[in-house]
Amino acid sequence: MEAAVLVPIKAFRNAKGRLAPTVAPEARADLARMMAHRVLLAARPFTPFVVCDDDEVAGWAGEQDAEVLWTPGLGLNGAIDHASNVVAGKGFDHVVIAHGDLPLATTFEHVITGGVVTLVPDHRLDGTNVQTRPASAPLPAAYGAGSFRHHLTMALSVGVRVRVVTDPRLARDVDTIDDLETLGIRLTADGIWTGAIR
């Protein structure tokens, strides 16, 4: 199966804004880079694409041997829909959409099944951390609050086979200080992140 892994990444300097009260901008950017790197490693042996509209992110993606899909001004959902159409046009028969802040990700192989939409919710059962689907499936992106419910409802309504996978490694993302503490990710006095992302 030819699968494309789409990893949407916002500008590193703007990443993880909810951590801003306690984590400096440079440290947040470093954290975002490290987690995104982890997700791109997990994307192999499939083909990773970074979906972005930022020059720094695009340059970084090239250093990671990921193809860049440039999506300026489209917002997250518009960018993912555009990128999904692009990779379908390139001949990929399956699309994986994985957020770039999954510090425990090691692989997506176990959630990819031909002809099936697979949804991996976050640990709160609110967001959709990973979605895999046939490239031909008519499923527009619906990221934001309650995206897991929205994606599940849409997938069931179009009559495709759907499965939900609760995976403790892929369910863990980083949005808050509590998430960092739960994962044991800490910033040392020297400004170095330690813990699950290493």
Q: Give the per-residue pLDDT at 190.
A: 75
- Domain membership of residue 103 as a residue range: 3-173
**DSSP-derived 3-state class of residue 8:** strand
**What is the C-alpha separation between 82 and 71, in angstroms, rounded?**
8
* 53, part of any domain: yes
**What is the C-alpha separation between 114 and 189, in angstroms, rounded?**
47
Q: How far is CA 148 from CA 25, 40, 106, 134, in A?
A: 29, 22, 21, 18
CATH number of domain containing 41: 3.90.550.10
Nearest 5°: the CA angle 143, 51, 181 is 60
Section 27-39 average pLDDT: 95
Global pTM? 0.94
* 196, part of any domain: no
Q: Going by DSSP bridges, is the β-strand pair 47-52/3-8 parallel, antiparallel, or unpaired?
A: parallel
Instruction: Tell me the H-state helices in 44-146.
Output: 55-63, 75-89
* 83, part of any domain: yes
* 149, part of any domain: yes
What is the tally of structural domains in the chain?
1
Q: How far is CA 36 from CA 9, 66, 166, in A?
A: 8, 11, 21
Q: How far is CA 29 from CA 16, 65, 169, in A?
A: 8, 20, 22
Inter-residue long-range contacts of 13-18, CB under 8 Å, 24+ positions, other chains counted: 13/56, 16/101, 16/174, 16/175, 18/175, 18/176
User: By C-alpha distance, which of 128, 115, 119, 113 is closest to 159?
Assistant: 115
pLDDT in tens, 137-181: 989 999 999 999 999 999 999 889 999 999 999 999 999 999 999
pLDDT in tens, 48-89: 999 999 999 999 999 999 999 999 999 999 999 999 999 999
* pLDDT-based confidence at residue 198 (cuts at 50, 70, 90): low
Is the pLDDT at 108 greater than 90? The verdict is yes
Mean pLDDT of the chain: 94
First to last CA, the chain: 30
Type of residue found at 153:
T
User: By C-alpha distance, which of 37, 31, 27 is closest to 60?
Assistant: 37
Query: Cis before residue 138, ω within 30 degrees of 0?
Result: no
* 50, part of any domain: yes
* 178, part of any domain: no
